[in-house]
Amino acid sequence: MQKKYISFLLSILVCLLLHHSANAQSTFALQDGDLIFQEACNGGMSSAIKEATRGIDGYNFTHVGIVWHKTPEQIYVIEATHPEVTITPLQTYLYPQEKCTRRSVVGRLKPPYQPLIQSALQYAKQKVGKKYDDAFDINNDQYYCSELIYQIFKEANHGQEVFALQPMTFKSKDSGEFPEYWVKHFKKMGIPIPEGQPGNNPGDMSRSELLNIVHYYD
């Protein structure tokens, strides 16, 4: 009798925990300007980025995009991805058709920077169709994912940086050597690896003091 009673109590506890978890997921609402950081599947550029960078809470982020509400019900993410800057439906961004599941984390600008968001989104929409920046050159009119975020907030802030640039590194955190992917990538482009040149990456941006991390997608 006592075992049945304990089992009954445990069942109730599990149900309450599942209800709380589901309710927490359902009550979270994205806002314009939220940044969704992603850790993509391994392979190619994603693996090379993971080798060289680090994000919050042990994540190895490979991508970031910015949230835009076309209407209260229509939510999109503006992102710089191959082959160009694009506007992607939220569900497609969060759950692309891949063999593995992307892990996504939401960063929200702190209150002093919130007034920049609507202007930044306008600049982001103006860049739709611009080519992806395979050269990782901050000075050309092409954009990699975190460079797009950097640039639109800089323009929204009248040319003054919001997210700071840092010297880029393409070397493995473990070996201190350039992964083979980067060696081949830049050789194919006919340019040297831009080691030490100003730039940014999703991992560093996720750790910015300008952001609060407000949600983790399963």
- The reported pLDDT for the residue numbered 14 is 34
Cα of 63 vs its chain's centroid, Å: 4
pLDDT at 46: 86
- Given this model, what pLDDT does residue 212 score? 97
The reported pLDDT for the residue numbered 61 is 93
What gap in Å lies between CA 48 and CA 59, rounded to an integer? 14
pTM, whole model, 2 decimals?
0.86
Interhelix angle 44-52/180-189, nearest 10 degrees: 120
> Which residues, in sequence order, are CB contacts of 191 under 8 Å at separation 6+?
135
Per-residue pLDDT of the chain (218 residues; tens, 9 = 90+): 444 444 443 344 334 333 344 344 458 999 999 999 999 877 788 889 988 888 888 889 999 999 999 999 999 999 999 999 999 999 999 998 766 677 899 999 999 999 999 999 999 999 999 999 999 999 999 999 999 999 999 999 999 999 999 999 999 988 999 999 999 999 999 999 999 999 999 999 999 999 999 999 97
Domain segments of the chain as ranges: 29-217
The CATH number of the domain covering residues in 29-217: 3.90.1720.10
d(CA 38, CA 102): 6
CA dihedral 36, 37, 38, 44 (to 10 degrees): 130
- Cα within 13 Å of Cα(210), Cβ side: 20
pLDDT at residue number 23: 42
What does residue 55 show for φ and ψ, rounded to 5 degrees?
-120, -165
